[in-house]
Structure 1
Amino acid sequence: MIGHSVRVNRGAVLLVGGILLIAIIYLFTNDNEAHQLYGNLRNGRQINLRKLLIGSIKAAKAGGIEVVTVSRNVEQLNQRSKGKTKEGVDDPLTDADSKSHCIMKSGLRRLFPKVEIISEEDKIHGGCQDTSAYFDLDPTVIHENAVIPDEMYNIEDITVWIDPLDATKEYTEKLYEYVTTMVCVAVNGVPVIGVIHSPFSGKTTWAWVNRAMSEDLLLVKKEENVTNNPTITVSRSHSGDVKEKASKAFGSDSNILIAAGSGYKVLQVVSKNATIYLHTTRIKKWDVCAGNAILSALGGRMSTLENDSIDYSSDLSPVNDKGILATLSHHDYYFNKYTA
């Protein structure tokens, strides 16, 4: 009728316009990649890695809160054993492991329901209780100087690895400096995002390879020259014969730094308190994936003792039984000395 206005639903118009635009691109382009992109978006098979980075940082911090909370009451630890390691060392489990696992995996699952997520504690008995204490995507976890792009990847190419409490044995002994919570994102088996959070200091170190990194990593500079008396950090719980092998390979003048937690030992290499992180026995991939990504972002390298890169694809074994050699600089030089 004349004199009456017609109300237009702006949201509906934008939605229809967007669908038409995608359809036009799909119908009239001969670019196979455009067709694939449309198909993936239509089927919900794409994931934004910027958002997954933010979610990973939030997950590591949320897990850290659980770890610290449980530590305040020894009776809450509920310490038990998952069995013995190959070296005969007790492999403990506490309520801190379980609660950190539940909040980290449940939170990431809520935000990214179709992504493959593997956690160290996936086999904990009883599963996770439903909780409302989830975390949301908070971009403020990224420092303001970081310019991070929105990049879309196929979900089937992504594997997220979670270590809800690294160095549990030391945690039960109140050696809290070794304790970390970690998240790693691998694309086609290659670690590209790593987050290592130290809950008792509150420090979070993260990196997205070739994209961005936490402010502490921006200050890291690689060593220009090799050192004749390197410091080798080794595990206090799983050292095996690593100390003897390190002295034989790098000389009696080399220093041995005994520490716990794979995340902690990688941070020692990054901070140059150690030259080499050496591990000669089997190790789980959730222990080393985040550190692997961070070293890669800095131009360093983590390899097996056969000098192979580690594949973090979800369809492979979660165990790396070929050892670890990780360096910030001159990896080939130190690897050749070790294998000489």
Structure 2
Amino acid sequence: MNFGGTIRPNNKAVAIFLVSVATLYLIYTWRNSAALAKESAFGSEKVSIGEILCAAIAAAEAGGREVKAVREKGTELNEKSKGKTKEGVKDVLTDGDMRSHQVMYSTLTSYFPHIKVISEEHDENNISMEPVNFNKKCPALEQISKLEWAPNDSITIWIDPLDATKEYTENLLEYVTTMVCIAVKGEPVVGVIHKPFEKKTYWAWVGQGMAEELLEINKAPEADNESFIISLSHTGDAVENRIKSKFPNAKVEKAGGAGYKSLQIASRHNAAYVHMTHIKKWDVCAGHAILKALGGRVTTMKNEPIKYGSGANDQVLIKDGLLASLHNGDFYSKLFKE
């Protein structure tokens, strides 16, 4: 009896099997390629910076309306504590912060879904307000010398729905702003600062143009070189003492809100804005862009540049303080770095 016979494969079955495997492989490869191509296309697709500027102005003003409406209701602000700052100051959250965040974030993410938007606030309940409509050819573009485009994946939008929340709760409303900043490859390019209780909006696009309101306040005489502005809520005596050690006769003003202080520099009311402790990028990005557009300089207290990207290596916290000025930036940086 012969048990060692030869097994003959079924050529037709083998062929069908190989064709099936090859087909599945091609489908898998095609789907992955299509997904990567789609992702790449959205990332490399260019968007008009001018269009984002128009949306940013509309978003900041819509957020401002919410901030104003909540404050003027005369009811409780539903204050909550988000913890304390490094200096031990209570970090407050109100209905004004959240309602402004909801409309600003909704507007910017709805119209620009493939651009990273970073907000100071986070809505755990995922309540989304209706995005505001805006004119893609808004009046601001009439002040622009040259429109530009940038790839989606090179842009980061930073929003501060309510700057100076502590002062907001204390009814010190002159300090309150809503802000949007557009950064391209980490560089602050467009800044929008809206003052809801004055119904004024200041914006600038570096190298391209700026709001007439900003041009108007920048016509003031140059500030005294020894006139400084510092934080009302995050200071103590340390910052003032540091300034006085360099400028014994310095005039030091304390004020709330990074946006407000940036505008005080832009309006030449103060020569330099000094902040020695931690500060968040959404607090300073818009002001940075505006001062940069006016020829000013913004760095850390260690004279290091500040980047506003959204990559894995980009941090929200600026750990080495802030030094902003419209003129004599190098002078202040070298002096305070010593």
TM-score interval (norm. to shorter): 0.7 to 0.9
Aligned counterpart, 2:194: 197
CA 1:98–1:148 in 2, change beyond 3 Å: closer, same or farther?
farther
Q: CA deviation at 1:120?
A: 0.1
**Matches of 1:335 and 1:54, distance apart in 2:** 34
In 2, the alpha carbon distance for the partners of 1:278 and 1:43 equals: 37
Deviation digits for residues 301-325 of structure 1, max 9, x if unmatched? 1000111110111121100001101
Change (3 A) 1:244 1:42: closer
CA distance in 2, matches of 1:243, 1:44: 47
Alpha carbons 2:81, 2:92 under 8 Å: kept:
yes
SS at match of 2:324: strand
Q: Are 2:315 and 1:324 equivalent residues in the alignment? A: no
2:147 & 2:267 partners in 1: Cα distance?
A: 30
Structure 1 distance, partners of 2:264, 2:43, is: 43
The answer as to whether partners of 2:78 and 2:94 remain within 8 angstroms in 1 is yes
State the match for 1:21 in structure 2.
none
> CA deviation digits over 1:14-66, x for unaligned, max 9?
xxxxxxxxxxxxxxxxxxxxxxxxx9778772111110111111111010000
Q: 1:265 to 1:42 in 2, by over 3 A?
A: closer
Could you tell me the percent identity over the aligned residues? 44
Contact kept in structure 1, 2:43 and 2:114, CA below 8 Å: no
Contact in 2 for aligned 1:281/1:323 (Cα 8 Å): yes
State the number of aligned residues: 296
- Counterpart secondary structure, 2:203: strand
Letter of the 1:270 partner, please give it: A
Q: TM-score, normalised by structure 2?
A: 0.83
Decide which of 194, 202, 209 is 1:212's aligned counterpart. Answer: 209
**Structure 1 partner of 2:308:** 312
Q: Assess if the C-alpha contact under 8 Å between 1:59 and 1:135 holds in 2.
A: no
DSSP 3-state at the match of 2:207: coil
Q: What is the DSSP-based 3-state SS (H/G/I as helix, E as strand, rest coil) of the residue aligned with 1:142?
A: helix
Q: Which amino acid aligns with 2:119?
A: S
Task: Summarize deviations over 1:170-197 as a string: whole Å, max 9, x none.
Answer: 0001100000000000011000000000
SS at structure 2 position matched to 1:139: coil
Q: 1:149 pairs with 140, 146, 149, which one?
A: 146
Q: 1:170 aligns with which of 167, 170, 173?
A: 167
Judging changes above 3 Å, is the alpha-carbon distance between structure 1 residues 334 and 79 closer, same or farther for their aligned structure 2 residues?
Answer: same
1:48-197 map, 5 Å = 48-122=48-122, 124-129=123-128, 131-132=129-130, 134-137=132-135, 139-142=137-140, 144=142, 146-197=143-194
Structure 1 distance, partners of 2:195, 2:135, is 20
Corresponding position of 1:9: none
- Indicate the structure (1 or 2) with the bigger Cα radius of gyration: 2
SS at match of 2:160: strand
Following superposition, the deviation at residue 77 of structure 1 comes to: 1.3
Match of residue 292, structure 2, among 274, 278, 296 = 296
Could you list the per-position Cα deviations for residues 43-98 of structure 1 after superposition, in whole angstroms to 9, with x for gaps in the alignment?
A: 77211111011111111101000000101123251111111111111000001100
Aligned-partner Cα distance in 2 for 1:147–1:331: 26
Query: Could you say if the C-alpha distance between residues 44 and 338 of structure 1 is closer, same or farther in structure 2, counting changes exceeding 3 Å?
Result: closer
What residue is the counterpart of 2:276 in the other structure?
A: 280
Contact 2:104 2:131 in 1 (8 A): no
Q: Are the structure 2 counterparts of residues 327 and 62 from structure 1 closer, same or farther at C-alpha, using a change threshold of 3 Å?
A: same
Say whether the 8 Å CA contact 1:50–1:149 is kept in structure 2: no
Q: Hey, what does 1:264 align to over in structure 2?
A: 260
CA distance, structure 1, for counterparts of residue 266 and residue 239 of structure 2: 21
Query: What amino acid does structure 2 have at the position aligned with 1:51?
Result: E
Q: Give the residue type in structure 2 aligned to 1:258.
A: K
What TM-score do you get using the length of structure 1 for normalisation?
0.82
Mapping of 1:7-46 within 5 angstroms? 45-46=45-46
- SS of the residue corresponding to residue 253 of structure 2 reads strand
What amino acid is aligned across from residue 196 of structure 1 in structure 2?
Answer: I
- Please report how far the alpha carbon of residue 149 of structure 1 lies from its aligned counterpart in structure 2 after TM superposition: 3.3
Provide closer, same or farther for how the CA distance between residues 176 and 43 of structure 1 changes in structure 2, counting only shifts above 3 A.
closer
- Residue aligned with 2:252, SS: strand
Q: CA deviation at 1:126?
A: 1.3
